[in-house]
Amino acid sequence: GPMSGYEDLNFPAFFNAEETLRNMGFNTINPAAIEQPVTTWEACMREDIREMMLADIVVTLSGWEQSKGAKIEVNLARVLGMEVYDYAALVNEAETA
């Protein structure tokens, strides 16, 4: 999901999604929870991608299409054959199942 330009870097949305996904039985890697020892966007992306490589799937938050970093992550996931899910659709599907 998007972070740059959002109040509190959009962390509340990330932590809310993480809690919901964990309650659904997923193990999560939350980019908002990754300790970032450096402050540049590029260095943060390197850390986020390093953690992403430990995942099996990627779940996107609303607005990800306008995020430079999220677009890179989704593209990388798809190139590597990882499944990419929309968070709202995933939760809706679980609620109606």
pLDDT in tens, 28-70: 999 999 887 767 889 989 999 999 999 999 999 999 999 999 9
Q: Where are the beta strands (DSSP E) in the chain?
A: 57-60, 83-86
In this prediction the pTM is: 0.90
- Cα–Cα dist 55/82, whole Å: 9
Percent of the chain at pLDDT above 70? 98
- Cα–Cα dist 39/3, whole Å: 14
CB neighbours of 32 closer than 8 A, spacing ≥ 6?
A: 3, 9, 10, 11, 14, 15, 18
Write the Ramachandran bin of 27: left for phi over 0, alpha for psi from -120 to 50, otherwise beta.
Answer: beta
